[in-house]
Homo-oligomer: A and B are copies of this chain.
């Protein structure tokens, strides 16, 4: 088959080597299929341990943090983080940067918290990241580091005395971050970590067991999973195995700092095309543009049919914008090669040239 350029927003492209290794393990992993081994077997316990160690190594996780793999995605994480971070005030601040923040806010309320929406970019359909707010004095401040739908990304994180909780589903492992700034980082796996089916939590151990939420259910208590080393119940074996393979691949390819450079180069290439090509324009505020999800529109919708035909013919998939904003979205996660971006910019350039 011809090569596909997968710009999908997630579940998304992973390295070809990872697919090949995973495919083999479905047939034979130490004599059995990876799908039929016990999660208590020494072989899988080693996989889980290696995945956790690689997360720590790749993100320079300091001592005093626990790395946990769960299920339920960030959508269950909205609830889990709110329950686990419930403090003496039962009052939390949330920055509203779009769809995912809104869902987090809803579950904060469902967890029994008084939720203060301390800043929002709703006034501009979430095309920027709010700044300059004071979030001191809350049980925690909740952030969404990157917005897949609106194409914005926090380039820095606020200074505050409130503990930081951050949903990094769509940009974790894409850039260097200082873990020590956060009490909880959580992320659905299906962007830069692995396939759908698991979610990563990086948790300051000192918060475990400190929640003021009454009767916190066992599965929703991060202390449960820390104490049982992510083996409280049957974990999503295959998703964690493939995540481990992907983290190994990341390590072999220079780690997060190298990915950050590559991602910057890909973003520069595509944003430069958008800004210099008279047929297109970007939708996010320039200083807040995401390096993961590039959102843009045609200035004249009359060219939509021709453009869609051209990128389809070039083997590009997943370029359609989210249904809530329209236009186009090029998601450029770690595994997307810059050559795929060059194919896209070529198609964009050709459209302008052919219609000049």
Contact = CB atoms under 8 A, between A and B. Distances in A.
Contacts of A11: 35-39, 234, 237
A64 interface: no
A125 interface: no
B14 A196 contact: no
A234 B4 CA distance: 22
A62 interface: no
Interface in A12-54: 12-14, 19-20, 22-24, 26-28, 31-33, 35-39
Chain A interface category by residue count: 35 or more
A242 B33 CA distance: 13
B26 A38 contact: no
Contact of A19 (B13, B26, B112, B216): B26
A271 interface: no
A259 interface: no
Contacts of A60: none
A195 B14 contact: no
5 nearest A-B residue pairs (beta carbon): A197-B236, A75-B233, A71-B71, A23-B26, A35-B195
Given A10-B234, A79-B220, 19 more contacts: A4-B32, A11-B37, A11-B39, A12-B36, A13-B36, A14-B36, A19-B33, A20-B27, A23-B24, A23-B26, A23-B27, A26-B26, A107-B217, A110-B217, A188-B234, A195-B237, A197-B197, A197-B239, A239-B239
Interface of A: 1, 4, 6, 8-14, 19-20, 22-24, 26-28, 31-33, 35-39, 71-76, 79, 103, 106-107, 109-112, 188, 190, 195-198, 215-220, 232-239, 242, 317-318
